[in-house]
Amino acid sequence: MRAMKFLIMNGAGNRFAVFDARERDGFELTSERVKALAKPGSQTMGVKGADQVIVMRRAKAQGADVFMEIWNQQGGEVDACGNATRCIAWLVLKESNKAEVIIETKAGLLKCRSAGDMRIAVDMGPPRLEWDEVPLKEAMHTHHIDVKVGPIDDPVLSNPGAVSMGNPHCVFFVDDFDKAKPEKVGPMIEYHPLFPEQVNVGFARVDGPNKIRLKVWERGVGMTLACGTGACAAVVAAVRQSRTGRRVEVQVDGGVLQIEWRESDDHVIMTGPVELEKEVSV
């Protein structure tokens, strides 16, 4: 494969290698190639590595501006990534001069618009809340699910909410991150037998009716500076458990995301920053 330029971008610290293959039909990625490119310390991505590798392709769906192919750090292809959606939308908005663009993913079509300088708002659509939509292995209400960490009679964590935002999320509400130990609990829950497709694990501390501090263990990645779909899932889970209002500022390790779960149409709107770090060749 001949050399190809790509962009290094991030959304609130969630870092991506972005390839534009819209005019290059022969460009294909393999799991091994993705892992070599994305791993921390790789020659091209540097110490931080990439949380995901993104490929822009010609849209397949009518009305869409671009198709976004998403690979995680472990070389698996996934359906959705909120922070990457903002990055791709920024690129397409910039080149098209449109007021709104539609990004096509395996999880569906996402409408995006500019929300200011280097900020993008994405309509993530309605959350999927039925047990078989998340999905879970067995039927249960997703408002709270039967997952506990620690002693049965005195668990450290319990009663998380389950939400799909195009990918599965399990959201625990915590008072103390040191006690919750996201970096240890995350990989345990990611492969919990209740989640047949594995799961992204959120640890949300509610700091007020409109404020959440969030840490996310992302499936196929690990602890990440930001997870856009994770922020959306945390707000949905918080609203369903009467912990917050529907418009919430979500502070992640890499920045701040504004999330609104609209009552009018059930859609979740995510607004946040985009950064273009540099262009490199591989």
Residues involved in catalysis: 81, 227
Question: How far, CA to CA in Å, does 152 sit from each of 75, 159, 194?
Answer: 36, 12, 17
Residue 42's closest CA among 32, 54, 29?
32
Q: Judge contact between 133 and 190, C-beta under 8 A.
A: no
Q: Where are the alpha helices (DSSP H) in the chain?
A: 31-38, 82-96, 177-180, 182-190, 228-240
Q: Round to whole Å and give the CA distance between 180 and 6.
A: 38
Q: Strand 168-173 vs strand 255-261: parallel, antiparallel, or unpaired?
A: unpaired
Task: Please check whether residue 137 is in contact with residue 98, taking contact to mean a CB–CB distance below 8 angstroms.
Answer: no
Question: 154: exposed, middle or buried (C-beta count within 10 Å: 0-12, 13-18, 19+)?
Answer: exposed
Alpha-carbon distance of 91 to 278, in angstroms, equals: 13
**102, 251 in Cβ contact below 8 A?**
no
- Report yes or no: 232 and 270 within 8 Å, Cβ to Cβ: yes
